[in-house]
Structure 1
């Protein structure tokens, strides 16, 4: 049962009504997050290179969290490749990986990628800064202890991400560890046990269990998120602190060096040459 006897589904429905405002208010009450947002807003308009972004801790953390890619903070070779390679190139890591989350990130900073890490003008327009801050605030809110306790934060993220229409294939879903976690639980699997399977096994199971076409209907996405919360309530152990393996982990990445890049035949300074799939 959720906070003050309110079920997780009821908490989810209430949080959904005005998540953007609730998230913004939550960050205002978090001094660390508030300072990071302020620093990002101050520095972003002058950032034109990948190095400038990656060397500014606050700005980089805000950007990565906005794209639900905080794990790349410890995978800098990957982030550098995404920011310094032209995402329209068929040999770029963003393309060869078939990872929709990486591609969306690389596309957002395509002006840097096209210039091998240097853009002629900052990609951080006023609109992009506002959008990035809003996305960061929502992820900060969704990943807070209060929202993670009963799975509500994951349900909120799943709903808005799937209703955006940007997740179209099983690969797209599996590229995002939060979306994959929801699919695992709704499909009846313990995320810890599912995460021990190799990527091909996971993909085969998810492909058989999840009808991606159904997510084109907002109501179906909503019901799916509610099913996730019901499963978490029935199986509290599924909502442990040990999150499922990300695509980086599934591909054998580590915390240093090029790691996963070797699987794509490239490194952080060059371009990839072959796809994994």
Structure 2
């Protein structure tokens, strides 16, 4: 049971009703997050290059958090490639990686990529600032200790992301570590054990478990998230501090160097965890 005897499923349904407002209030109560948001609002409008973005810690953290790509903070070579290459080019990292999360990030900063890292005007329009802040606030709320302990945070993110219509294929789902975790658990797998399989094995198994077409129905997406929470209650050991590896880990691990980039021109063999439901 969750806080005050309310089950995680009930907590999820309550949080779903007004997550954006609750998330915004959550950020206001966190001194560091509040400071980063203020810094982002002040400095983002003047940023028009990859260097400016990456060298401003607060702004970069808000942006990466909004795209659920905080791990790129320690993979600067990857982030720089995404920001300095034209995402429409077939040879760009965004395209060759087949990573939907990376492509969405690169597309958002396509004006920088087209200019090899420098845009003629800041991509941070008023609309982009507003949408980035909203996404960052929701991820901050979803990844808070309380929401992670119960699994509610992952369920909220899964529902929000899948109902957006941006996740269309199994590989799209597999490129997002949080979506992958939900899929693994609902499919009946311990994320740690399933993560020991290589990418091709995971993909083959999950292709038989996951019906991507079903997610075109918002109600089925929500029911899937509820299944996840039920499984977490039944198997609390699934919800420990160890998160499944992202698609990035499949392509080279966490060495933080440029080596990961060279792998996209090869066979793309996976070595760690990733998967879909």
The TM-score with structure 1 as length reference comes to: 0.95
Distance 1:190 1:246, change over 3 A: same
Matched, 1:219 2:213: no
How many residues align? The count is 269
**2:251·2:268 contact (CA, 8 Å) conserved in 1?**
no
Residues 254-269 of structure 1: matches in 2 within 5 Å? 254-265=254-265
Partner residue, 1:269:
none
SS of the aligned residue for 2:207 comes to helix
Offset at 1:256? 2.2
Partner residue, 1:127:
127
CA deviation map 1:187-214 (0-9, x unaligned): 0000111111111111111111100000
Partner residue, 1:30:
30
More off after superposition, 248-257 vs 157-166:
248-257
Partner residue, 1:248:
248
- Output the CA distance in 2 between the equivalents of 1:121 and 1:151: 40
- Output the CA distance in 1 between the equivalents of 2:268 and 2:250: 12
- Output the CA distance in 2 between the equivalents of 1:221 and 1:230: 14
Residues 1-277 of structure 1: matches in 2 within 5 Å? 1-265=1-265, 276=268
CA deviation map 1:235-268 (0-9, x unaligned): 0000000001111111223232213101023xxx
- Output the CA distance in 1 between the equivalents of 2:259 and 2:231: 35
Offset at 1:275? 7.4
- Output the CA distance in 2 between the equivalents of 1:226 and 1:132: 27
SS of the aligned residue for 2:150 comes to coil
Offset at 1:119? 0.2
- Output the CA distance in 1 between the equivalents of 2:77 and 2:210: 32
SS of the aligned residue for 1:189 comes to coil
- Output the CA distance in 1 between the equivalents of 2:37 and 2:120: 24
**1:44·1:59 contact (CA, 8 Å) conserved in 2?**
yes
**1:97·1:275 contact (CA, 8 Å) conserved in 2?**
no
**1:181·1:244 contact (CA, 8 Å) conserved in 2?**
yes
Partner residue, 1:270:
none
**2:141·2:147 contact (CA, 8 Å) conserved in 1?**
yes
More off after superposition, 201-210 vs 235-244:
201-210
- Output the CA distance in 2 between the equivalents of 1:100 and 1:156: 19
- Output the CA distance in 2 between the equivalents of 1:209 and 1:260: 30
- Output the CA distance in 2 between the equivalents of 1:255 and 1:67: 22
Partner residue, 2:274:
none
Partner residue, 1:268:
none
The TM-score with structure 2 as length reference comes to: 0.95
